Amino acid sequence: MWSSLAEYHRPTTVREALRLLARPSPRTVPLAGGTRLVAERDPAVEAVVDLGGLDLAFVEPRGHHLRLGAMTNLQALVTGPKTRTLAHGLLAEAACHNVPRALRNVATLGGTLAAGGPTCELALALLVLDARLVIRARTRRTVSLEAFLSNRAEYLSPASIIVEIRLPMPPTDVGAALAKVSLTPRDRPIANAAAFVSRRNGICHGARLALGGVAPDPIRLPAIEAMLSGSALEDDLLTRMAQATATAINPPADSRASADYRREMAGVVTVRALREAWQQVR
Amino acid sequence: MDITLTINDEERPVTIAPGETLLGVLRRLRYVSVKHGCEDGSCGVCAVLLDGQVVHSCVMLAAQADGRRVTTVEGIGTRDHLHPLQAAFVEVGAVQCGYCTPAMLLAAKALLDENPRPTETEVREALSGVLCRCTGYVKPVEAVLNVVRCEGEVRDATTVQ
């Protein structure tokens, strides 16, 4: 029982949903799948606006982009024909990680990104896929996932709804992979990484890297990415890259790992993800 | 507020509080096979099928399930006519305290309805959202695989529901 909750609304238009969210009182928040929100039962929340009636569950190619409705559930990313094999299955794999089927059937793409977390695999994958979020408030704006994750509160207030996630269709000559280090296979990762590499004639023509566990949300590593362009990804370059990654970050310590260990592992997972992505393309 | 749930093929109008979880409402209506565990979606003993898909009812508001079909263990078999999965759990001895058993049965049923010939890995993946507090997963996995082997029985099960 979520005792403080006095109102439940299920509007059928985004406009009506925004109107309900903008009320000064009762304190109202959007409800996507609810697997995080209902689990937390925040006593300060007095009303929810269920986004399930807004027709935001879709996966739709448009031109060179793929449009993913924010209410698309994670299982649809795992099994959907448009997302299953996207970027060597990167998105589908990220949607599966540490999320059992019963939660994947309900948890949504938009809700997962709004809830966030340091090692959120879905955010990692979407960062290297260069995702952009379409957010509706009084106006409609499009922001990069990177910008959104670094300042979530600003983009979600006042009264905003993530309606869509948009990805450029990855070309065919790219590799993409996830890597993680954790205490047990099902435990939350100490550090994890995603890599996306364009490879032609044995040379890297651009890479995107994202790292989890080292900040409140996963981060992109633009300076490290720049080291890789124009080179073959051989062992000595990867070793230098791992060192550069470790010095570029300032990870936290917690019960799973010390800051030093996490720093070391950040280099390790980045190299593993990159090497796997690189080897996918010949 | 008033909602309608179709629970085990029976339409039930219910008056609920906005903050009531689906778990809370089902137990209030005496579907007590649905167990109350962690309350945050981690342990899976509150699993039910919603429109045939397995979900954790402790992290879903009852209001979110308005107008939808809910299946609990009470709806898949009776004491005299066990569902093949239930019979297999009994035969294999895939039960110790029994607290997670209804959820395991529903997770397994959802899997077999979708994929009548899963591999052992797929069975393990399907059961992985339900935590057993006693012994482990070897016997439940064995029980599900036994049902898979008797394909005829599985076909009967999916038509009986």
Q: What residues in chain A have their Cβ under 8 A from chain B's Cβ atoms?
A: 1-8, 10, 31, 34-36, 38-41, 47-48, 50, 52, 75, 100-103, 105-106, 186
Same domain as B93, residue B50 = no
Per-residue pLDDT of A133-177, as tens digits, reads 999 998 999 999 999 999 999 999 889 999 999 999 998 889 999
pLDDT band (50, 70, 90) for residue A128: very high
Angstroms from B138 CA to nearest CA on chain A = 18
Same domain as A38, residue A86 = no
Say if residue A205 is exposed, middle or buried (CB neighbours under 10 Å; 0-12, 13-18, 19+): middle
Same domain as B64, residue B91 = no
**Which of A124, A140, A168 is at the close of a domain?**
A168
Q: To the nearest whole percent, how much of chain A has pLDDT over 70?
A: 100
**Which of B75, B93, B119 is at the close of a domain?**
B75
Q: Any idea of the CA torsion for A82, A150, A237, A279, to the nearest 10 degrees?
A: -10
Per-residue pLDDT of B10-37, as tens digits, reads 999 999 999 999 999 999 999 999 999 9
Amino acid at A228: L
Angstroms from A115 CA to nearest CA on chain B = 15
- B47-50 and B10-15 beta bridge pairing: unpaired
Same domain as B156, residue B88 = yes
**Which of B35, B55, B75 is at the close of a domain?**
B75
Same domain as A188, residue A245 = yes
**Which of B52, B75, B98 is at the close of a domain?**
B75
Pick from A3, A7, A106: CB nearest B60: A106
Q: What residues of chain A lie within 8 A of the CB of B126, using their CB?
A: 101
In a domain? residue A51: no
In a domain? residue A52: no
pLDDT band (50, 70, 90) for residue A231: very high
Give the whole-angstrom CA distance, residue A272 versus residue A274: 5
Same domain as B59, residue B10 = yes
Among B3, B26, B59, B127, the strongest candidate for a mutation testing the A interface, having the largest count of A CBs within 10 A, is B59
Among B23, B43, B55, the strongest candidate for a mutation testing the A interface, having the largest count of A CBs within 10 A, is B55
Same domain as A121, residue A216 = no
* Contact criterion met (CB < 8 Å) for A35 and B21: no
The whole domain housing B12 covers 2-75
Does B132 lie at the interface with A, CB-CB under 8 angstroms?
A: no
In a domain? residue A54: no
In a domain? residue A49: no
Same domain as B99, residue B68 = no
The pLDDT, as a whole number, for residue B154 is 54
Per-residue pLDDT of B34-46, as tens digits, reads 999 999 999 999 9
Give the whole-angstrom CA distance, residue A268 versus residue A224: 14
Q: To the nearest whole percent, how much of chain B has pLDDT over 70?
A: 93
> A76-91 as b/e, with b when 16 or more CB fall inside 10 Å?
bbbebebbeebbbbbb
Same domain as B10, residue B46 = yes
Question: Do the beta carbons of residue B40 and residue B58 sit within 8 Å?
Answer: yes
Same domain as B57, residue B26 = yes
Does B60 lie at the interface with A, CB-CB under 8 angstroms?
A: yes
In a domain? residue A246: yes
Q: What residues of chain B lie within 8 A of the CB of A38, using their CB?
A: 21, 58-61
Q: Is the pLDDT of residue A105 over 90?
A: yes
Q: Tell me how many domains chain B contains.
A: 2
* Contact criterion met (CB < 8 Å) for B64 and A52: yes
Angstroms from B69 CA to nearest CA on chain A = 15
Q: Is the pLDDT of residue B157 over 60?
A: no
Pick from A8, A34, A100: CB nearest B18: A8
The whole domain housing A20 covers 7-44
Q: What is the CATH number of the domain that holds A231?
A: 3.30.390.50
Same domain as B155, residue B89 = yes
Same domain as A192, residue A152 = no
Residue with tokens 């949903």: A17
Give the whole-angstrom CA distance, residue A281 versus residue B157: 45
In a domain? residue A202: yes
* Contact criterion met (CB < 8 Å) for A105 and B18: no
Same domain as A238, residue A200 = yes
Q: What is the CATH number of the domain that holds B106?
A: 1.10.150.120
Q: Tell me how many domains chain A contains.
A: 3
- Count helices and strands in chain A by DSSP H and E runs: 12, 12
Angstroms from B134 CA to nearest CA on chain A = 19
Say if residue B64 is exposed, middle or buried (CB neighbours under 10 Å; 0-12, 13-18, 19+): buried
Pick from B18, B56, B107: CB nearest A5: B18
Same domain as B71, residue B88 = no
Pick from A47, A48, A102: CB nearest B129: A102
Same domain as A237, residue A140 = no
The pLDDT, as a whole number, for residue A73 is 97
Same domain as B98, residue B60 = no
Q: What is the mean pLDDT of chain A?
A: 95
Angstroms from A46 CA to nearest CA on chain B = 9
The pLDDT, as a whole number, for residue A56 is 98
Residues in CB range of A230: below 8 A, 6 or more apart: A203, A204, A205
Nearest CA in chain B to A10: B64
**Which of A168, A185, A211 is at the close of a domain?**
A168
In a domain? residue A143: yes
Amino acid at A62: R
Q: What is the DSSP string of A112-164?
A: HHHH--TT-HHHHHHHHTT-EEEEESSSEEEEEHHHHHHTHHHHHTTT-EEEE
Same domain as B110, residue B61 = no
Same domain as A248, residue A199 = yes
Q: What is the CATH number of the domain that holds B33?
A: 3.10.20.30
Residues in CB range of B100: below 8 A, 6 or more apart: B35, B43, B44, B45, B130, B131, B132, B133
The pLDDT, as a whole number, for residue A268 is 97
In a domain? residue A50: no
Same domain as B53, residue B104 = no
Other CB atoms within 10 A of residue B90 CB: 12
Same domain as A212, residue A196 = yes
Q: Is the pLDDT of residue B158 over 70?
A: no
